């Protein structure tokens, strides 16, 4: 006589135990995974700020920009001014709508656009590829602040949080205070 093999499979209790173990593992790992994802986004945004900083630095030293007979001279004045004229730090907006007309039609902006790969003053904020989570109700906005001596500047993202905790802030202080803020920046 042939003996039939018993092919019962898993019992309901065994399946419930496996599902419970999987659910517990996911609940423990998911928050850590989300933190790593946000930190990767912050790292990407820091690299984009560095690209903007490098593009602006190059444009400020480019002989063609320095000798251009257009609004490039105004940009150079902006990036070397020690005050905004009202006693506050020189804060330069690097996003659409901040400048227009002749400010955008000059060798300085052309050079920044060529090196950065896009024009921060005309490209909509939603298309600038910044990825980290901004302060609630805001967009990430690239800006620059000039040092009090006028010999340096930093690019930062307003409403960002470099710690990856998704609690962005709007930096509104001096170049020297950037390190005490939570915003993403590159000096």
Q: Is position 11 within any domain?
A: no
pLDDT for 109: 93
pLDDT of residue 49: 92
How many folded domains does the chain comprise? 1
User: How far, in Å, CA of 169 to CA of 142, rounded?
Assistant: 13
Residue 107 lies in a domain: yes
Angstrom distance (rounded) from CA 119 to CA 63: 20
In which residue ranges of the chain is pLDDT below 70? 1-7, 83-88
Residue 139 included in any domain: yes
9 in a structural domain: no
Q: Which residues contact 5 (CB under 8 A, 6 or more apart)?
A: none
Which of 113, 76, 120 has the alpha carbon at shortest distance from 98? 120
| Residues ≥6 apart with Cβ < 8 Å to 129 | 44, 48
Domain presence at residue 6: no
- 50, 186 Cβ separation under 8 angstroms: yes
Neighbours of 4 (CB within 10 A): 6
Asked if the structure places residue 19 within a domain, the reply is: no
pLDDT given for residue 61 in this prediction: 92
CA 173 to CA 156: how far, in whole Å? Answer: 11
Q: Does 118 map to a domain?
A: yes
Give the tens place of pLDDT for each residue, 4-58: 666 677 888 989 999 999 999 999 998 888 888 888 988 999 999 999 999 999 9
Token readout for 10 is 């898993």
Name the residue range of residue 120's domain.
41-186
CA atoms within 13 Å, Cβ hemisphere of 39: 7
Residue 30 lies inside a defined structural domain of this protein: no
């Amino acid at each position: 006589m042939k003996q039939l093999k018993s092919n019962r499979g898993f019992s309901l209790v065994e399946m419930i135990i496996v599902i419970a173990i999987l659910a517990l593992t996911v609940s423990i790992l998911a928050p850590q995974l989300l933190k790593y994802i946000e930190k990767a986004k912050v790292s990407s945004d820091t690299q984009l700020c560095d690209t903007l900083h490098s593009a602006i630095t190059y444009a400020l030293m480019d002989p063609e920009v320095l000798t251009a007979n257009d609004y490039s001279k105004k940009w150079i004045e902006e990036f070397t001014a020690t005050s905004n004229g009202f006693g506050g730090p020189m804060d330069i907006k690097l996003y659409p709508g901040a400048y227009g007309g002749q400010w955008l039609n000059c060798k300085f902006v052309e050079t920044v656009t060529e090196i950065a790969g896009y024009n921060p003053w005309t490209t909509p904020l939603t298309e600038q590829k910044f990825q980290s989570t901004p302060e609630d109700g805001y967009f990430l906005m690239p800006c620059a602040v000039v040092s009090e001596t006028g010999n340096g500047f930093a690019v930062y993202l307003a409403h960002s949080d470099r710690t990856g905790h998704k609690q962005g802030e709007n930096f509104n202080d001096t170049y020297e205070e950037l390190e005490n803020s939570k915003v993403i920046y590159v000096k």
